[in-house]
Amino acid sequence: MTTDRTARGWVVRLASGEMDEGELDRFKAWLSADPSHRAAFERERLRWRDLAALAPAFAAPPQCRRQRRLVLAAALAVAACLAVFVAWPPLRLALLTDHATGPGQRASITLPDGSVVELNTDSAIAVHYSPGERRIDLLRGEALFAVRSDKTRPFRVAARGGTAQAVGTAFVVRDRDGLVVTTVTEGTVAVASPEQAEPGGVLLAAPGDQIAYAEGQPPRRLGRADIGAVTAWRQGGIVLDGARFSDALAELERYRPGRILLLGRDPATLRPVSGIFATDRIDAAIAGLAATHGLTVSHVGSLLTILR
């Protein structure tokens, strides 16, 4: 079986939604076994992504009964694939993603132009480079971008319909619970309104500035940020300064598989959380947080932690 055919088979299996953990491990092993495997999978992935653009062609009047049957079958196949693609977020993410990290992982990626992306925990990006633009789609999580200057090709980070654009600078973009926050660490960044919002909103941000927007809303200034705290994850730390208890739990949860649940207590009645926590010792951080708030910790398997 050719590499392209194997790659196509993996795309079909991903689309089925029936891959178990063992098969997913075999897919990852095949993908990393040879650079040609990833290249072939990328080609097939892009063909999948282009299916939506082909759908209108199926509406053209058929020339004969046989053509009509073929067109209908093709349209149904595309519709079925697209339905799975849209309805199953993990599949959509898997097919769109070029680089990703799991819970508790970090990664540094050098892009084709020499710019560098540092991915925080549980994050994913897609890379789109063309002669006129360098665009990174932040599909999930958080990343720091150290941009190499190229005046002929703007560098843009897209998330939830909005963009952050910079030339020769560094900044962090984080997508959390539908809110995209851009923090500038060096240079100047222009944050544009999401596509769904009313036109006209572009805010310029200098080092230490934070700009936020939600889908369908224009960007707004959050004020000055502690850059060291925002980027502490690069050195394996989490800095919390007066965070609400529920927000503190949510932040710790990002760095480990599974869920952390608070039962029997109203989080609004618990004291705010301040401190520095190690990303590789999240269980110890949870235990310390519970102890200082009079809570007990119990584990249900490895994927569920309950505080009460």
Summarised one tens digit per residue, pLDDT across range 156-201 is 999 998 999 997 799 999 998 889 999 999 999 999 977 655 555 7
Residue 231: inside a domain, yes or no?
A: no
pLDDT computed for residue 16 by the predictor: 62
Asked whether residue 87 falls in the same domain as residue 105, the answer is no
pLDDT computed for residue 86 by the predictor: 44
* Residue scoring higher pLDDT (55 or 192): 192
**Rounded-to-integer distance, Cα 83 and Cα 92, Å:** 10
pLDDT computed for residue 50 by the predictor: 55
Mean pLDDT of 140-164: 94
Asked whether residue 182 falls in the same domain as residue 203, the answer is yes
**Rounded-to-integer distance, Cα 166 and Cα 162, Å:** 14
List 186's β-bridge partners, or say none. 170
pTM of the complete model: 0.72
> Which structural domain, as residue segments, surrounds residue 282?
236-307
pLDDT at residue 240 tops 90: yes
Asked whether residue 183 falls in the same domain as residue 92, the answer is no
- Name the phi and psi angles at 227, rounded to 5: -60, -40
Who contacts 11 (Cβ-Cβ below 8 Å, separation ≥6)? Answer: 41, 44, 45, 48, 95
Measured at the CA of 289, the angle between CA 288 and CA 291, to 5 degrees, comes to 65
| pLDDT tens, position by position, 75-121 | 545 444 544 444 445 666 767 788 999 999 999 999 999 999 999 99
Asked whether residue 216 falls in the same domain as residue 103, the answer is yes
pLDDT computed for residue 40 by the predictor: 82
Neighbours of 172 (CB within 10 A): 24
Asked whether residue 57 falls in the same domain as residue 105, the answer is no
pLDDT computed for residue 42 by the predictor: 76
pLDDT computed for residue 88 by the predictor: 46
Asked whether residue 59 falls in the same domain as residue 115, the answer is no
pLDDT computed for residue 57 by the predictor: 46
Asked whether residue 166 falls in the same domain as residue 66, the answer is no
